[in-house]
Amino acid sequence: MKRVIVHSDINHCYAQLEEMRDPSLRNIPMAVGGSEEKRHGIILAKNDLAKTYGIKTGESLRQAKAKCPQLLIIHPDYDSYMYYTEKVKDIYRQYTDQVESFGLDEAWMDLTHSQLLFGDGIELAQKIQDEVYQKLGLTVSMGVSFNKVFAKLASDLFKHKGFALITEDNFQQMVWPLPVEELLMVGSRTKKKLNEMGIYTIGSLAAAHPELLSKRFGVMGLLLKRYAAGEDDTPVRHKDYQRPVKSVGCSKTVVKDIESIGQLQEVFRVLAETAAVRLKADHYKGSVVSIWLRDTDLKGKGLQMKLSQSTDLARDLLNAAMQLVYKLNLEEIKLRSVGIHVSGLVHKADVDQLDLFTPPDDRIRQRALEKTMYEIRKQYGYDSCRFASSKVDAEITDFDPLGLLHQVHPVGVLDGPVKV
C-alpha cells in the first residue's frame, strides 16, 4: 500500500484565530504582535488586509506601522491558540492515530491505513480539510505526498485552504524547479552556502555530488540530498508520542537595557529558578550550563561549562551562569536579552554526588528551600516570595517565569543523530 502522508498548516494561524473569535477584525488591517513597551515588538501573524500593505511576519511593529498607520495590533493569547489548534488536531485524530504536531499550527497525518476504513486517502484529506472549515470556520492548507518532507513542501504551495498533491510520478516536475530554500531544514545560512556552491534549486541539490555536500555540511548534506531526491521514509509519530527532553532553556527580553553585573545577576536568578522548576517537574538533572547574551545591536555571544555533578538546583545554575559571565570579560554591559540553557540531562537522578568540600546535607537543605519557595509562589504568585536583591531594580526582574511556557515555534524535526 502506497504511503499517503498529509501536512496541514492553519493559514496565518494567530490572526485567523483572532478573526474567528471576533469576525469584525476581518474588515480592518490587523496583526498579532508583541509589545513595543516590553520590547517584544514583532509581527507574529497578519490578516489578509494587513498583507495588502506589504506587512510581513517577523518585521518590527514600527516597520509595520510605517506601512499601515491604522494597523490594529492584538497581543497574542497563547492559551486560546493552544486550545483551538488542539480542536483542529482532534478532528485529524478521528481519522488516524498517527498525528504529529509541528508547532501549534502545523501537523503531519499518515492516512495510509486509514484508507481501509475511510476510502481514498487524497479524498479523505480533502474531507478533513472541509470538516475543519465547517466545524471551526478555519482554513487550513494541506499537502499530500508519499513522504513527510514533500507533504510539508506541498502545503506551502497554495495558501487560503490550498490543496496540493506531490506524487512519485510528478515530484521532479513540481519540486525540482523550486528554490532550494523551499526544502525542509534549508534555512537562510544553509541556502547561502548552497548558493555559493552553485546550488539554487531543489533539483540541483538532488543532482549534487555527495562528496561535495559531505565535505561542506557533513552528514547533514547527505540528508538534504536525500530529501531533495524524495528519499524520506521518516514515520509520522503516534498521537501520544512525547519527544524526549534533551535540554531546558529560558530567556528574557528585558523592558530596559541591562547595564550592570548586578542587574544581569538578578535576571539570571529568575531564569535559573525557572529552569530549575522545569527540571524538577520532569525529574531531570543537567550537567552542562550555557548562557547567551544579546546586546542592543542584536549581536549575540555565549559560553558554556560542564558542572562537576548534575543538578536541578537554581542556586547551582545561577552560580554557573555568573561564572560564565565573568569568563566573558565584558568591557561594558548594555544587553537587550539574555538566556540560560541546561543540557546533558539525566532522568530520575535522585542521588546527589557527595562533595568533599560541602556539608553532606547542604544540597538536601537547598532543595527543600527551593521546593518551599515554589509551593508558596504556586499558591500566591511569584512575587509573594523572592530575593530582596531582585527588587532593587524591579522593572527588569518584574516578570513571572512560572507561568505557562509556550512553544510558539516548531520543534526540531530530527530527534537524534542523522542517519544516512
The answer to whether 106 is a known catalytic residue is: yes
The CA distance from 344 to 176, in Å, is 40
CA dist., res. 248 & res. 229, Å (int): 35
Which range is least confidently modeled, 50-59, 87-96, 401-410? 401-410
pLDDT at 405: 37
Who's near 90: CB < 8 A, 6+ residues apart?
none
pLDDT tens for residues 137-154?
Answer: 999 999 999 999 999 999
The percent of residues above 90 in pLDDT, for the chain, comes to 65
Please check the confidence at residue 272 and state whether its pLDDT lies above 90.
yes
Do 213 and 225 meet the contact criterion of CB atoms below 8 Å apart?
yes
Q: How confident is the model at residue 407 (pLDDT cuts 50, 70, 90)?
A: very low
pLDDT surpasses 80 at 343: yes
The pLDDT mean for the chain works out to 89
How confident is the model at residue 404, as a pLDDT? 37
Which residues does residue 248 pair with via DSSP β-bridges, in sequence order? 342
Domains, the chain, in order of start with CATH, read 1-166 (3.30.70.270), 176-243 (1.10.150.20), 248-391 (3.30.1490.100)
C-alpha 405: how far from its chain's center?
Answer: 11
Q: At what angle do helices 314-327 and 362-380 cross, to 10 degrees?
A: 100
Does 52 have pLDDT greater than 50?
A: yes
Phi/psi at 379 (nearest 5 deg)?
A: -90, -35
Give the whole-angstrom CA distance, residue 388 versus residue 43.
Answer: 36
Gap between the Cα atoms of 310 and 349, Å rounded? 8
CB neighbourhood size of 253 (10 A): 16
| CA–CA–CA angle 317, 281, 401 (5° rounding) | 60
* Grid coordinates belonging to 339: 538566556
Q: Would you state the pLDDT for residue 408?
A: 41
pLDDT for res 363: 83
| Mean pLDDT computed over 279-285 | 89
CB 324 within 8 A of CB 303: yes
> When comparing pLDDT for 306 and 247, which is higher?
306
- Range 345-360 average pLDDT: 70
Contact between residue 164 and residue 157 where contact means Cβ atoms under 8 Å apart: yes
3 state DSSP class of 218:
coil
What is the model's pLDDT at position 387?
Answer: 84
Per-residue pLDDT, 378: 79
Residue 61 one-letter amino acid: L
Mean pLDDT of 47-65: 91
Q: What is the pTM of this model?
A: 0.77
The pLDDT, as a whole number, for residue 226 is 97
DSSP 8-state class, residue 279: H
Least confident of 231-235, 286-290, 314-318, 334-338: 334-338
Output the DSSP codes for 227-239: HHTT---PPPPPT
pLDDT-wise least confident of 145-149, 173-177, 356-360: 356-360
* pLDDT-based confidence at residue 191 (cuts at 50, 70, 90): very high
Residue 147 carries which side chain, given as an amino acid letter?
N
Mean pLDDT value across residues 82-105: 96
Give the three cell numbers for residue 162: 490550498
Average pLDDT over residues 312-339: 91
Highest-scoring range by mean pLDDT, 85-94, 295-304, 400-409: 85-94
Q: What is the mean pLDDT of residues 57-62?
A: 86
Under 8 Å CB-to-CB from 127, ≥6 apart: which residues?
A: 118
Give DSSP secondary structure letters for 339-378: EEEEES-EET---PPP-TTS-TTHHHHHHHHHHHHHHHHH
Paired with 185 in beta bridges are none
* Cell matching residue 2: 502506497
In this structure, of 157-171, 248-262, 346-360, the range with the lowest mean pLDDT score is 346-360
Q: How far apart are CA 176 and CA 170, in angstroms?
A: 10
Catalytic residue among 18, 59, 100, 106: 106
For 311-328, what is the mean pLDDT? 94
